[in-house]
Chains A and B, each alone.
Chain A
Amino acid sequence: MTTPPPAEPPATPPAGTGKSGEESRHRPFSEIFKESFLEGNTVTVTVLALFTATVLGGLLCAFTNPTVLHASAGNMLGQAWDVASGTYVALFEGSVFNPHTVAALFQQASLSTAVHDGYLSAVFNPLSETAVQATPLILTGLAVALPYQAGLFNIGGQSQFIGGAIMAAWLGYDLSLPFFVHVVVCVIGGFVGGAVIGWLTGEIKARTGAHEVIVTIMLNYVMQYFLAYLLSSQSLLQASGSPNPITPPIAFNAHLPLLAGTNLRINTGFLIALACAFGVWWLLNRTTTGFEFRSVGANASAARVAGMKVERSWALVMLTAGGLAGLAGSAVIQGTDFTLNPNSYGTYGIDAITVALLGRGKPGGVVAAGLLFGALHAGSPGMQTSTSTPVQIVQVLQALIVMFVAAPPLIRALYRLRASRSGGVGTTVSKGWSA
């Protein structure tokens, strides 16, 4: 169901709306562009939301910095600007492009030595890191976005990720298979591991009506402790002779193939994530099953009346979502970490929700949001070392971005934009606990 966001009193009288169609046909392009910009379409609102979040994050950095706080009143603003811009420059250099690496590249005697000594890959390292960080974010983001279309809220990304990671790691070190086969077996294992956990949630909801939010939250804890249990026993997953809770490293044959040479971590996991995004788009928009998912999400009762099996859709959509989160687990284990430990799952479960929301629940949006947050994650360690701004600023930025993107009326009010004539950007309209 789509409800227009609460009407915001237009800051300026909507002058454009009074013009007749004939007149507007003759207007120059620049005017139409300005008009549509002021109306606050999706792009404008998203860009302004990003901008607002960036400014707020910058203020936070600047005014918690000891140098700024101890500066004299006249100096303070300059210092604050230096700190905030320094932070963002460091983030950018760590995630997209660092000019110093290019300078270093051109100082080399010849291109072949530059390539051989890794100077060329150093140029592309930030982008590669962004892709690496984005991979699990995109996959878990899809795991939230897909059930969201079917009216289910999946907070269980963490448990499904762990399920996938356990399978991928176990198959990875316990089997010895030829190169390509081993990779495929582990990836499929990761999908299955996550899918089982996801399916459990959907099936319990379908059978008993137990709320998926409770079940997924509980499963997160169950899987977290279950993993700790597996990793604390030598007869189970713990590496023999290791005092730490960690699995043995997976076989080299199970590593996801690298895409751009041995110096860059970017691997086929990124391609898997993109393929999955396309797959989810295709599933939702081009198949009967996807249509059923969306119908169930829009109105479960109507879908039931129309003869759709609502319970089956719930179970199926959670199974698929769990599989996607499981793939994220396998991408992390097989692509970058190569062992499984209690820190492997990080905060993907919650990050996934922010990614899915920023992507407005659409596969393409999830990819874009995953890349953006991946860039933030990729840039943050370098930022912390070079500017001593704590990495948590990334979490703050992430939350602020999503909050502002989710509330277009606020952005419009803030920048005195008009409400769009066509009803504007659809707010992610609240639809209650579930459909």
Chain B
Amino acid sequence: MTSSSTARLPVLLTPGPGAGSGASWGGRFAAPVTFALFGLVDILVFGTHAHGSATFSFTPEFAKVTLPNLVLNGAGTAYFCGAASLLLAAARFLTALGRLPLGRTVHRVMLGLLLFFFVIALLAWSDAGQSISFNVVNLLSGTLNDSIPIMLGALTGVICSRSGVINIAIEGQLLLGAFCAAIATSVTGSLWLGLLCGALAGSLVGILLAVFAIAYAVDQVVLGVVLNTLVLGLTGYLYNAIMVPYGNTLNNPITFNPWKVPLLGDIPIIGPVFFDSTVFLYLTYLLLAVVQIGLFRTRWGLRTRAVGEHPVAADTVGIRVLALRYQNVIIAGLIAGIGGAYFTIGSVGSFGIDMTSGEGYIALAAMIFGRYTPFGAICAALLFGFTTQLQSILSSLNVPIQSNLLLLTPYVVTIIVVAGLIGKVRGPRAEGIAFTKS
């Protein structure tokens, strides 16, 4: 058997480029240094500049059950968070020296804690001395809802990557999904039909990606970017050509209303955050569970991962590599299409040119950030959604930072985290390599 994959194998089996750079500063001390950096920012920036006390409220407006507000000393809270972060840094330092062996799970929890402390310190500083209380429930539910397209896009990316196909066209899938959902709902008046059309639109981009990547072996990274350009141009063109002149009939969709889950939705804090939203959020829960369990607990998942890691071996044991790749890429497109539909019939209503504004690329970053696992990708997507949400709330608090500087922080933080803490993420080995059977 000769295939492009066999020819590559010797290359892939040797240590990757990241392995050679272990001796540089990016090696073992990158993590402790990054941790310490966060701790110092907590103390020196937030702690020393916070004056007065910060008020946090935990009740959404018009709630039946109200919780008391939490009042904290701004500076004290920031100092505490900084000290805790420095302790974490010390622990990571000991690990780097080999004195304190810690498991992978512990490392991840520590990363989560670090970011948590950072955010608390930031909030304590920003709300300190302000008369307005900081509504935590609004922040969290806003985060969850704003992240829906990123989460769904990242899930699509995970399935495609695990099958060995790079999907950069997530952005295009989101955008076409938004466009088609808006048109379908406007014309038929049915939200569910709109949702279906959005999903199918995402899948249509998936079909293009699959055909060109799998049958014609086009470079998948470039193909994805080109598909995004195509969808951006096409939706922009059709928007001007047909949506603007016939706006009332083609671009005037109704939107999904939130639906509160009985009982669960009444739990304080958790209820309004997790169980009082549109169908999109519940679909996201469902899809996360399905993909996570499907990938790691079912035969389909095992085969998918085999095809993404070592298609030659998978082919030898009788898995139909190309058919499985086609199937997975096209089905995964449905998920991103649903995420796209959220932009129109889930939130804003009418379609606008380039309304996804790069969230597909963010989803891509979330996928890699989350180490190609559904759960990790969702966590990373939430991190992005959280920072965007935080920025919009902070700017309403009149925090003395330029809003543009706040807007760029999540991206800087991502670079720091990716460079300092995660480093080389190992993707599926055969990702992006065309497989030809002979």
Contact A310 B17 (CB under 8 A): yes
Within 8 A of B (CB), among A262-293: none
Query: What is the CA–CA distance of A400 and B431 in the complex, to the nearest angstrom?
Result: 25
Contact B226 A402 (CB under 8 A): yes
Partner of B21, one of A3, A207, A228: A207
Say whether A179 faces chain B, with CB atoms less than 8 Å apart: no
Contact B230 A206 (CB under 8 A): no
B interface secondary structure, majority? helix
Contact B431 A433 (CB under 8 A): yes
Say whether B215 faces chain A, with CB atoms less than 8 Å apart: yes
Say whether A429 faces chain B, with CB atoms less than 8 Å apart: yes
Contact A429 B217 (CB under 8 A): yes
Partner of B432, one of A225, A393, A430: A430
Chain B nearest CB, measured from A62 CB (Å)? 11
Say whether A138 faces chain B, with CB atoms less than 8 Å apart: no
B30 neighbours in A (Cβ, 8 Å): 208
Contact B218 A406 (CB under 8 A): yes
Stretch of B71-79, B105-113, B416-424 on the interface side: B416-424
Contact A354 B229 (CB under 8 A): yes
One digit per residue, 1 when the CB lies within 8 angstroms of any chain B CB and 0 when it does not, for chain A 201-233 equals: 000101111110111011101101110110011
Say whether B368 faces chain A, with CB atoms less than 8 Å apart: yes
Contact B219 A429 (CB under 8 A): yes
Contact A210 B422 (CB under 8 A): yes
Contact B245 A428 (CB under 8 A): no
B94 neighbours in A (Cβ, 8 Å): none
Contact B225 A395 (CB under 8 A): no
Query: What is the CA–CA distance of A410 and B414 in the complex, to the nearest angstrom?
Result: 39
Contact A3 B412 (CB under 8 A): no
Partner of B425, one of A60, A211, A229: A211
Say whether A166 faces chain B, with CB atoms less than 8 Å apart: no
Contact A430 B213 (CB under 8 A): yes
A232 neighbours in B (Cβ, 8 Å): 402, 404
Query: What is the CA–CA distance of A1 and B26 in the complex, to the nearest angstrom?
Result: 30
B228 neighbours in A (Cβ, 8 Å): 350
Contact A392 B237 (CB under 8 A): yes
Contact A428 B415 (CB under 8 A): no
Say whether B166 faces chain A, with CB atoms less than 8 Å apart: yes
Query: What is the CA–CA distance of A407 and B211 in the complex, to the nearest angstrom?
Result: 10
Query: What is the CA–CA distance of A398 and B229 in the complex, to the nearest angstrom?
Result: 8
Query: What is the CA–CA distance of A166 and B108 in the complex, to the nearest angstrom?
Result: 39
Query: What is the CA–CA distance of A213 and B425 in the complex, to the nearest angstrom?
Result: 12
A interface secondary structure, majority? helix
The answer to whether A229 and B405 touch (CB under 8 A), given A354-B226, A390-B237, A430-B217, is yes
Beta-carbon nearest neighbor of B430 in chain A: A432
Contact B419 A64 (CB under 8 A): no
Contact A65 B241 (CB under 8 A): yes
Contact A225 B404 (CB under 8 A): yes
B402 neighbours in A (Cβ, 8 Å): 229, 232-233
Partner of B237, one of A64, A354, A357, A429: A64
Within 8 A of A (CB), among B351-365: 353, 358, 361-362, 364-365
Contact B404 A208 (CB under 8 A): no
Within 8 A of A (CB), among B15-50: 15-18, 20-21, 24-26, 30
Say whether B11 faces chain A, with CB atoms less than 8 Å apart: yes
A215 neighbours in B (Cβ, 8 Å): 415, 418-419
Say whether A258 faces chain B, with CB atoms less than 8 Å apart: no
B238 neighbours in A (Cβ, 8 Å): 64
B24 neighbours in A (Cβ, 8 Å): 206-207
Say whether B313 faces chain A, with CB atoms less than 8 Å apart: no
Say whether B14 faces chain A, with CB atoms less than 8 Å apart: yes
B408 neighbours in A (Cβ, 8 Å): 221-222, 224-226, 229
The answer to whether A430 and B404 touch (CB under 8 A), given A398-B233, A399-B227, is no
A403 neighbours in B (Cβ, 8 Å): 212, 218, 223, 226-227, 230
Say whether B4 faces chain A, with CB atoms less than 8 Å apart: yes
Say whether A311 faces chain B, with CB atoms less than 8 Å apart: yes
B369 neighbours in A (Cβ, 8 Å): 214
Contact B216 A204 (CB under 8 A): no
Query: What is the CA–CA distance of A1 and B7 in the complex, to the nearest angstrom?
Result: 9
One digit per residue, 1 when the CB lies within 8 angstroms of any chain B CB and 0 when it does not, for chain A 47-60 equals: 00000000000001
Within 8 A of A (CB), among B329-384: 353, 358, 361-362, 364-365, 368-369
Contact B415 A218 (CB under 8 A): yes
Say whether B221 faces chain A, with CB atoms less than 8 Å apart: yes
Beta-carbon nearest neighbor of A402 in chain B: B226
Beta-carbon nearest neighbor of A211 in chain B: B368
Say whether A396 faces chain B, with CB atoms less than 8 Å apart: yes
Within 8 A of A (CB), among B191-236: 212-213, 215-223, 225-230, 232-234, 236
One digit per residue, 1 when the CB lies within 8 angstroms of any chain B CB and 0 when it does not, for chain A 368-408 equals: 00000000000000000000011011111111101100110
Contact A217 B226 (CB under 8 A): no
Query: What is the CA–CA distance of A213 and B14 in the complex, to the nearest angstrom?
Result: 22
Contact A210 B217 (CB under 8 A): no
Beta-carbon nearest neighbor of A153 in chain B: B221
Contact B404 A221 (CB under 8 A): no
One digit per residue, 1 when the CB lies within 8 angstroms of any chain B CB and 0 when it does not, for chain A 333-365 equals: 000000000000000001101100100000000
Say whether B271 faces chain A, with CB atoms less than 8 Å apart: no
* Residues of B participating in the A interface, judged by any CB pair closer than 8 Å: 4, 7-8, 11, 14-18, 20-21, 24-26, 30, 166, 212-213, 215-223, 225-230, 232-234, 236-242, 245, 353, 358, 361-362, 364-365, 368-369, 402, 404-405, 407-408, 411-412, 414-415, 418-420, 422-425, 427, 430-434, 436
Question: Can you spell out 17 A-B residue pairs with CB atoms less than 8 angstroms apart?
Answer: A1-B7, A3-B217, A6-B217, A208-B423, A210-B418, A210-B424, A217-B361, A218-B365, A304-B20, A392-B353, A395-B233, A406-B219, A427-B217, A428-B219, A430-B432, A431-B219, A435-B17
Given contacts A211-B368, A213-B368, 19 further A-B contacts (CB under 8 A): A6-B215, A6-B217, A6-B434, A208-B30, A209-B423, A218-B412, A221-B407, A224-B408, A225-B407, A353-B222, A392-B233, A395-B233, A397-B233, A403-B218, A406-B212, A407-B218, A410-B212, A430-B219, A432-B166
The 6 closest A-B pairs by CB, nearest first: A395-B233, A209-B18, A209-B424, A399-B230, A390-B240, A432-B432
